[in-house]
Amino acid sequence: MIKKLAPDVSMRIAAGEVIERPSSLAKELIENSLDAGASSISVQTEQGGKSSFVIEDDGCGISFEELPLALERYATSKISGIDDLDRISTLGYRGEALASIAAVSRLEIRSRTAGEESGGLIRCEAGEITLHCETPAKAGTRVQIDDLFFNLPARRKFLKTSSAELRRIVQIINDYALIYPDVAFRLAEGSRKIVEYGCADSVEERLQRRWGKQALIRFSEAQSGGLSVRMWWNPMPDSRRVSLTLFVNGRRVQDASVKAAISSQDAAAFGEWLVMLALPPDEVDVNIHPTKEEVRFRKSGDIFKAVFNCAKTIFADRLSIKGDSPAAQQSNMGGMPSEQPGGAEAWSFYRKERWRAASPLSSQPAQTANIFTPAAETAVPQESFNGDAFGKRYIGQSANGFLIFDFPDAICLLDPHAAHERILYEEICAAFSRGTAVQQLAVPQEIPQAAAAEASLYRKELEELGFMTSGDMLTAVPAIKGKGHLSPVDMLRSAIRGIETENDPGKRDREVWWRMARLACRDAVKLGQRFEREEAEELLSRLESCDTPCTCPHGRPTVFLIENKKLFEWFER
C-alpha cells in the first residue's frame, strides 16, 4: 500500500542528500558566507566536526525577523523565479542547506545585519525551533552545529575517524582559500590551529603559500568569447595521480571531461592542478546534483578543447618548445622529457623488449620493480646479465645518449638515466632497511600551507619516521644516504602522501620509504649526458651489483641485449 511519509521522515531523507558528513557543513556554510560578502571566515571544530562545528563570518548577516524563515526548506534570497535557474550567479540558491542541517543536528544561529542595533538568536533541534529571541551580537553570522546526525545513528556510524573527517574539512578550506584571496580563512580543532590564511593580493600568492616557495608552478590562461580558462600546475615527481581542484564561476565542483582533457596530454600530468573556469551563467547548469558538486556545460566540447589547449601550452612551456610540436605531447612516467628523445614509437618498442630471456625479442613486458617485494618480480636471471668482467668492452655512446657495450655473446644498449635511477633507488632503500637517524636542519624550513595541516594531524607518525617540527617550521628530517638534492620539504610531502595512502601501520613505513626513494631518483643523470669510458664502465659495474638491475623503479628497462646468435641470423651468416 502506498502512503505518504511523515514530514519528519521525508525531511531527514532529504537532509541526507545534501549533508553527507561534516565537510558538507563546511562547503555549504562557507558558500553562504561568501555569498554574504564576508571578508573573514573562521571555523572551529571538535572531533572533526562530528560533535561540534562552528563557523563565523563578518558578512551582511540575517535580520531577526527572517531567522525562522532561513530554516524553512526552499527559502532563499538568491533567486525568486523559474527564469533565475537559467542564470545562477551565486554559490547558494536552493534554500536547502540550513533546513537540512537543522533536521539532523542541534543548530544555533546568531546574526546581526549592519543596520541593526541588536542581533537575533535562534535554536533548533531535529528541525523543531526551540528558541527565537533578540540578543547582542557582532555584525555577521555565527552558526553552531552540535551532535551531527544524532537522530540518524545509521548515518553517524558510517562517518570516518575524527582525523579523517577533519582532513576533508581542511581540503574544503584550502580549496576555497585559493580562489578567494581577498578573504581570510581560519580553521581550528579544539585549541589547536590547523589552517590560517590572511588576505592575499592574488591567487598566485595563495598558491605559493599552499604549494611552497620551492614549487615550480606552471601557468596558462586563455579567453574565447565568454569563456575564460586559468590553469596552474604543480608537478610532483613521486605522485601517481592527477589531483584536480576545479572551480566553475567560483563554485568548487568535479567534472570528468576537464580531468580527461588534462590527463589525455601525458602521463607526466601527474601532480596538483588548479583550474578556474569563468563563463556566462546561462552556459552552465549547476542544478543537477544534490550537493551541487557537479555541473553540466551547454557546450562541453568547447570546455574540453579550451582546457586541453591550455594544458598543452603548459607542457610546451615546460619543455621550452612550441605548443604544436609533437614533442610537446611526449610521454614518460617521470615527467622528464629528455629521457625519451625517440618519441612514442621508440618508447613503445623498448617497453616491449625483454632482454636475455629465452628469446631476446620476447613480447613479454618488464614488470615494475619494488625493492621490498623482489620475489614478486619477473626478474631476468642474474647470470644472463653478468658475464666475464674482462669480456665487456665499452664501445661508445649513441647520438641520443645510450651507452653501447660489446659483451662476449651480445651487444648491450644501456639507458644511463634508468640505470642510475635503479642504483640510487636501491642505495636509499638499503639505508632505510638499516633504520634511520635524525638529521637536524641547520636552517629550519617553513612548511607550505598545503602540508602544514597534514603535518599537524600526523605529527606522531612523522616523528616516528624522523621528521621533527616546531610550529610551522621543519627542524629535522631522516638522515638518508643517497638522497642527493632531495629537499627537506619534498621529503616531508612524500612522507605525508605515503601515510595517507597506506592505512595499515605495519605497511606504512614501506610505503613512505618507497615514495621517498622514487622521488630521489630525479637526481639521476640525464639521457644525453656525455660519458667518459671510466664513467660508463663504473655505471655498468654498479648496476650489475643491484638486486634488480634490469628495470628502473618506474618499470622502464635499463638494458637491451641483442645476442650475437640473433645478429648472425639477421645477417644470414
Q: Within this chain, do residues 349 and 410 fall inside the same structural domain, yes or no?
A: yes
Domain membership flag for residue 229? yes
Q: What is the pLDDT of residue 342?
A: 32
Over residues 92-144, the pLDDT tens digits come to: 777 888 988 998 999 999 999 988 889 999 999 988 999 999 999 999 999 99
My answer on whether 138 and 42 are in the same domain is: yes
**Contact 308/261 with Cβ under 8 angstroms?**
yes
Place 386 in a pLDDT band, splitting at 50, 70 and 90. very low
| 332-378: pLDDT as tens digits | 323 323 333 333 333 233 233 333 332 233 333 333 333 223 333 33
Residue at 207 is within a domain:
no
Question: Each residue of 152-176: pLDDT tens digit?
Answer: 888 888 888 888 899 899 989 999 9
Of 350-364, 378-392, 522-536, the one with minimum mean pLDDT is: 350-364
Contact at 8 Å (CB) between 86 and 151? Answer: no
What CATH number does the domain containing 248 carry? 3.30.230.10
Range of the domain at 172: 7-200
Q: Could you give the percent of the chain with pLDDT greater than 90?
A: 25
Mark which of 177, 200, 223 sits at the end of a domain. 200
Q: Residue 20: which CATH number?
A: 3.30.565.10
With respect to residue 306, please indicate whether it lies within any of the assigned structural domains. yes
- 537, 393: one domain: yes
Query: Whole-angstrom Cα distance, residue 562 to residue 413?
Result: 8
Strand ranges (DSSP E) for 329-472? Answer: 393-397, 403-407, 410-414, 437-446, 468-470
Give pLDDT, residue 427: 79
| Of 353 and 91, more confident | 91
pLDDT value, residue 31: 92
Q: Examine the fold and report which residue of 169, 200, 231 is the final residue of a domain before the chain moves on.
A: 200
Q: Are residues 341 and 303 in the same domain?
A: no
On whether both 418 and 556 belong to a single domain, the answer is yes
- Is there a single domain that holds both residue 508 and residue 378? yes
CA distance 316 to 305: 16
Do 432 and 507 lie in a common domain?
yes
Average pLDDT, the chain: 78
Judgement on whether residues 463 and 532 belong to the same structural domain of the protein:
yes
Check which CATH number belongs to the domain holding 361 and give it: 3.30.1540.20
Write down the pLDDT at residue 349. Answer: 30
Same domain (yes/no): 143, 53: yes
Burial 432-465 (b: 16+ CB within 10 A, else e): beeebeeeeeeebbebbbbbbbbbbbbeebbeeb
Q: Which of 325, 251, 16 is nearest to 148 (CA)?
A: 16
* pLDDT digits 0-9 by tens, 264-307: 765 567 888 999 999 998 888 887 777 778 888 888 888 999 99
Among 102-116, 313-327, 388-402, 422-436, name the most confident range. 102-116
Q: Is the pTM of this model over 0.85?
A: no
In a domain, 208, yes or no: no
In this predicted structure, what is the pLDDT of residue 509?
66
List pLDDT tens digits, range 415-460. Answer: 998 898 888 878 777 766 666 678 888 888 888 877 787 888 888 8
Is 210 a member of any domain?
no
- Render pLDDT for 193-210 as a digit per residue (tens, 0 to 9): 888 899 999 999 888 888
| Mean pLDDT of the region 561-569 | 87
pLDDT score at 240: 65
Q: Provide the grid cell at 118.
A: 541588536
Residue 76, pLDDT score: 82
Task: Give yes or no for a contact between 256 and 303, defined as CB atoms under 8 angstroms apart.
Answer: no
Model confidence pLDDT, tens digit, residues 228-248: 999 999 887 656 678 889 999
Task: State residue 268's pLDDT score.
Answer: 62
Query: How much is the pLDDT for 326?
Result: 35
The SS3 of residue 222 is: strand
Q: How far apart are CA 179 and CA 205, in angstroms?
A: 11
CB 212 within 8 A of CB 451: yes
Q: Of 133, 167, 200, which residue constitutes the final position of a domain?
A: 200
Amino acid making up residue 257: S
Same domain for 180 and 48, yes or no, is yes
The SS3 assignment for 200 reads coil
Q: Is the pLDDT of residue 573 over 50?
A: yes
Is there a single domain that holds both residue 353 and residue 264? no
Q: How many domains does the chain have?
A: 3
Does residue 237 lie in a domain region? yes
- The reported pLDDT for the residue numbered 180 is 93
Same structural domain, 180 and 230:
no
pLDDT tier at 504, thresholds 50, 70, 90: low
Residue with cell 628495470: 551
Q: Are 99 and 71 a contacting pair, CB within 8 Å?
A: yes
Residues contacting 298, CB < 8 A, separation 6+: 282, 283, 284, 285
